Amino acid sequence: MARVARKRSEIDSYTVILRAADGVIFDEYDHNMFLAICSKCKETEHFAILAYALSYDSISLVIKASDLEHVMRKITVSYVTKYNKYHGHKGSILKDRFTSIPAGDYDQLWRMVFDIHA
């Protein structure tokens, strides 16, 4: 069965949620590694992270990117590879694919930023 296509944002802005697979817990080292990967990807990709929240079982971002799928693929593949190498883990560490919620306008975008920090 085919997946439903992602809804596109007219202003190229989204809230993105990555959830940890069962039994996977993100610690402070993992959070720092994720932020370093995002910073490194910004050198070659065109996107901006407006807000983020890192917890033990999920990562939430408010991101502005014209090609969200490409940017998130680069970030998640790098992150999973480094996580698995550091922790001696094999396989996926994320549940399914990432969830994205498109922002319809700039007011909604700033509410998303506020919600991440609240």
pLDDT (tens, 9 = 90+) of the chain, 118 residues, equals 677 888 899 999 999 999 999 989 999 999 999 999 999 998 888 899 999 999 999 999 999 999 999 999 999 999 999 999 999 999 889 998 899 999 999 999 999 999 998 7
Given this model, what pLDDT does residue 96 score? 85
Given this model, what pLDDT does residue 69 score? 93
How far is residue 11's CA from residue 44's CA, in Å, rounded to a whole number? 21
How far is residue 78's CA from residue 44's CA, in Å, rounded to a whole number? 14
**Considering only CA atoms, which of 97, 91, 89, 55 is closest in space to residue 73?**
97
How far is residue 19's CA from residue 93's CA, in Å, rounded to a whole number? 9
Given this model, what pLDDT does residue 45 score? 87
Given this model, what pLDDT does residue 4 score? 82
**Considering only CA atoms, which of 84, 90, 97 is closest in space to residue 6?**
97
